[in-house]
A = this chain, B = another copy of it.
């Protein structure tokens, strides 16, 4: 009897203590959301970054403006430490606007296109050549040199619209942009055009990074999906070799320049050499304002620290907002951050990245085992449910935080996961402007990242 009583008391005690914990957490999370939804700075800060700094491709003067401004911003919030982390970055410039024309006998049709980041330009007089349409790198391999030599290769595989989420649809088409130029160059193609990586059918080209994979550089550009459809329809109607393209772009790569990651810290009261990183990337492509990619992410990361300070939460671990440089083209900022962390023997327990847009939060993806995920769901899902942000799944693949894992196998990588339907409408295009960000969606994301950071700081995560 006593034994049973003892066990029961123990169980009751555990249950009481866990429910008190949950109540404390629940109240703290409510405080976080109240602060952000009622007094949040994310939207105003994002407006400044988009409208007063603007496009900020790494290596550009605007990128330096963004560094200076965001450092000052964090200093103005009185974070415990705000500093720059120097890093050499690529310096690619687009030059004058690209021109593209379909030549079909006597007919001329203008193409809307934009050079891919890192591409070489065309010769000054442009390139005129036959174009062939391909759906995949595999198709390129099977055509080989005899099929593509001296031609412009046009990769036109669209997003698979049956895929529910944006990121996997993007990943299913992105090899054309990343590797298409290099692979086509290997077979002697003289240029590459790719269909823009988006679900949307519109007239905005979407740029992005590409690689030559050790082959001779050839000019590579993205066509708007409207232009891609026009070109494809014409190619289907004509005999092989009848459709030519004139195409001129003026981009070039200048010598690498020095730039910076911008880092703000709240020092941990118990484990000051144990870190939780929240981050996004400060650089953006040059065609617009980098609002969703990734102005929202960096402003949310800053907000995590601002909210903690404002509501008077003293973290146990050191919390860092890291505004990474050069995510879009090179990744040098992320590598530098991971290298410095390793050199300084920092212990990183978790890193959260927001780089999928500032849309309504759905939850997070965690780089944990199934057992770890089950634990997260058991402990925390209910805490996020009132905020509709409770979807916790396996993942943690965003690129700026991924480098940490190489030297710190125990760090838990976490992707902030917003609704994914609109992201690729704006991604890397002239549409990625402040006006396409919704204030509350942005704030809900900032609050959910802050809430998760708080929970990790309090309870850590077991893998």
Instruction: Find chain B residues with CB under 8 A from A101 CB.
Output: none
Shortest Cβ distance from residue A377 to the other chain B in the assembled complex, whole angstroms: 13
Would you give the shortest CB distance from A50 to chain B, in whole angstroms? 17
| Interface 1/0 per residue, A358-383 and B, CB below 8 Å | 00101000000000000000000000
A9: Cβ under 8 A from any B Cβ: no
Interface size class of A (residues with CB under 8 A): 20 to 34
| Known A-B contacts A199-B440, A425-B438, A440-B199; A164 and B386 likewise in contact (beta carbons under 8 Å) | yes
Q: Take A425-B438, A438-B421, A438-B425 as given contacts and tell me if A164 and B38 are in contact as well, using a CB distance cutoff of 8 Å.
A: no
Q: Which of B33, B38, B421 contacts A441 (CB 8 A)?
A: B421
Is A236 part of the contact surface with B, judged by Cβ < 8 Å? Answer: no
Cβ of A145 within 8 Å of any chain B Cβ, yes or no, is no
A15 within 8 A of B: no
Distance, CA A444 to CA B425, complexed state (A): 16
A425 CB contacts on chain B under 8 angstroms = 438
Q: Which of B37, B438, B439 lies in contact with A162, CB distance below 8 A?
A: B37
> Across the two chains, which residue of chain B brings its CB closest to A363?
B388
Give Cα A325–Cα B75 distance, bound, in whole angstroms: 57
Is A18 at the interface (CB under 8 A from chain B)?
no
A34 within 8 A of B: yes
Minimum distance in angstroms from A242 CB to a CB of chain B: 31
- A37–B362 Cα gap in the complex (Å)? 21
Contacts of A419 in B (CB 8 A): 360, 419
Residue on B with the closest CB to A200? Answer: B439
Instruction: Find chain B residues with CB under 8 A from A441 CB.
Output: 421-422
Contacts of A438 in B (CB 8 A): 421-422, 425
Residues 196-213 of chain A, each 1 if its beta carbon lies under 8 Å from chain B, else 0: 000110000000000000
Contact call B388/A444, Cβ cutoff below 8 A: no
User: Given A421-B438, A421-B440, A440-B199, does the pair A164, B360 have CB atoms closer than 8 Å?
Assistant: no
Chain B residues with CB below 8 A from A33, complex form: 162, 164
Interface residues as binary, A263-295 with B (CB distance below 8 Å gives 1, 0 otherwise): 000000000000000000000000000000000
Does A256 have its Cβ within 8 Å of any Cβ on chain B?
A: no
Q: From A362, which residue of chain B is reached at the shortest CB distance?
A: B388
Cβ distance A202 to chain B, nearest Cβ, rounded Å: 11
A110 at the interface (CB under 8 A from B): no
Q: In the complex, how many angstroms separate the beta carbon of A129 from the nearest chain B beta carbon?
A: 34
In the complex, the answer to whether B161 meets A440 with C-beta atoms within 8 Å is yes
Tell me if A165 counts as interface (CB < 8 A to partner B).
yes
Query: Closest CB-CB distance, A455 to chain B, in whole Å?
Result: 18
- Proximity bits, A24-40, B CB within 8 Å = 1, else 0: 00000000011001100
Residue numbers in B under 8 Å from A397 (CB-CB): none
A31 vs chain B, min Cβ distance (A):
11
**What's the minimum C-beta distance from A161 to chain B, rounded to whole angstroms?**
5
Q: Which residues of A contact B (CB under 8 A)?
A: 33-34, 37-38, 161-162, 164-165, 199-200, 360, 362, 386-388, 391, 419, 421-422, 425, 438-441, 444
Can you list 17 A-B pairs with a CB-CB distance of less than 8 A?
Answer: A33-B162, A37-B161, A164-B386, A164-B444, A165-B388, A199-B439, A200-B439, A360-B360, A360-B419, A362-B388, A388-B391, A421-B438, A421-B440, A421-B441, A422-B438, A422-B441, A425-B438
Rank and list the top 8 A-B pairs by shortest CB-CB distance, nearest first: A421-B440, A37-B161, A421-B441, A360-B419, A34-B162, A37-B162, A360-B421, A422-B438
